[in-house]
Amino acid sequence: MITFFNDSHQAHAPEFEFFRGERVPCFETPARADHVKASLVARGHALQRSQTDSAAVLSRVHSPRYLAFLENAWRDWCGQAPGNEQRQPFPSVWPVRSLRSDIEPLDFVARLGLYSMDNGSPLAAGTWTAARAGADAAASAATLVAAGKNGERAAFCCSRPPGHHAGADFMGGYCFLNNAAVAAQTLLDAGAARVAILDVDYHHGNGTQSIFYDRADVLFVSLHGDPLTEYPFYLGHADETGSGNGTGFNLNLPLSAGCTAEHWFDALEHACLRITRFGGDALVVSLGLDTFAEDPISKFALQSADFTRLGKRLGAVGLPTVFVLEGGYAAVALGTNAANVIEGFEDF
């Protein structure tokens, strides 16, 4: 399976974040993708640079106002006050219920709050460069799979920052551009009539759900930590089934913290059967690997061998498949776990 690697990911390297009230080193670091790349190379997998410009599809996934903000964010932050280039910006106010969001404030920190769902997604000088290159990698993987040349039935977008918490007009959860949505829309633009997205990250892909919630051409299925206790808290419940034309095309399978591997695979089976009934032309997998038992910020119990089992079950779905790297913060093990999924898929 060809992997599209985002060489520019290292440009996004903020120094710290806030976690449970403390200033801590970032969990989402360049080392994550580097470990995955090293593991794939060591195990004989082919890597390619991105070949597809995602600009057109990004304009269909994200709002123009949000894209303009994100592209200019670091410049605007540095221009707000002397010395800001040495500081990380964080939002301090958000337009919650009864406040207006239709007018964009002039103050940068206020604009940052307008486009953020949390204060846990720190910006850095190279954030736009890295995120944009990641979207290109996702579009490249989807374009390859859509073309089906040389028997390629799957491709892997190994990129960071991740994307599944980013909505049409907001960032959050370390995510800025929604790579899974870019991959799905690229497949649709290339001729697929229907695309399924399966999100196996520990955290619900709220951004992906919101982007496609009223559409019948994309089925979104997610198994994740119960939002009653787990991030993103405000989306991911089982009663969220879609709206309008999308009614019935959203399936959430929330699981309690501490969920065993067997319970998790029962939910995966439910998800895969729903995807089969959907009858889509292709599958996008938001490949979060923070379900690993040793992940520092998650609470499921999968072991490295379980990711091979995951890959085999996804291979059995039998659809052209694009894998998009999402979360997973046990950085050293991340490479092994990602390669296990890919090889399990290929061995089916």
Contact 107, 76 (CB under 8 A): no
Which residues have CB under 8 Å from 157's CB, separation 6+? 3, 4, 6, 134, 137, 138, 140, 141, 179, 183, 322, 323, 324, 325
Residue 165 designated active-site: yes
SS3 category, 228: coil
In this structure, the number of other CB atoms found within 10 A of the CB of residue 267 comes to 18
Contact 213, 250 (CB under 8 A): yes
Contact 200, 268 (CB under 8 A): yes
Residue corresponding to tokens 């290339």: 190
Q: CA 89, CA 69: separation in Å to the nearest integer?
A: 14
Which of 348, 184, 166 lies closest to 281 in space, CA to CA? 184
How many residues are present in the chain? 348
Catalytic residue among 9, 62, 164, 165: 165
Q: CA 320, CA 313: separation in Å to the nearest integer?
A: 14
Which residues have CB under 8 Å from 172's CB, separation 6+? 116, 117, 118, 120, 121, 165, 166, 206, 207, 232
Which residues have CB under 8 Å from 85's CB, separation 6+? 78, 125
- Positions annotated as catalytic residues are 165
